């Protein structure tokens, strides 16, 4: 059975939603304006093997300019 929810609900309950996806392995489709927008799914393959610290550092590096703007 597919799980869907609206964007506002997913945003409000993001931690709970991701914990449930991780626990059950079942993806959740997030709807925006009643249309599928994104899918939250458990990490698999190479993404699941990536060290979380390495992933965070890569993310910070990739968006350094955004963080600099936000810090102003």
* CATH number of the domain enclosing 30: 3.40.1620.10
Residue-wise pLDDT tens digits, 10-41: 999 999 999 999 899 899 999 999 999 999 99
Q: What is the pLDDT of residue 71?
A: 85
How would you classify the pairing of strands 28-32 and 35-40?
Answer: antiparallel
> Total structural domains in the chain?
2
Per-residue model confidence (pLDDT) at position 54: 80
Q: What is the pLDDT of residue 10?
A: 95
* 32 and 2 in a common domain: yes
Domain housing 54? 44-72
User: Is there a single domain that holds both residue 33 and residue 10?
Assistant: yes
Do 35 and 54 share a domain, yes or no? no
Same domain, 1 and 33: yes
Q: What is the DSSP pairing of strand 28-32 with strand 3-6?
A: parallel
Specify the pLDDT at position 48. 62
């Amino acid at each position: 059975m597919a799980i869907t929810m609206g964007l506002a609900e997913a945003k409000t309950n993001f931690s709970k939603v991701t914990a449930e996806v991780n626990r059950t392995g079942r993806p959740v489709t997030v709807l925006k304006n009643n249309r599928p927008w994104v899918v939250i799914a458990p990490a698999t393959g190479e993404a699941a093997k990536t060290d979380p610290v390495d992933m965070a550092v890569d993310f910070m590096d990739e968006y350094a300019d955004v963080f600099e703007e936000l810090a102003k």
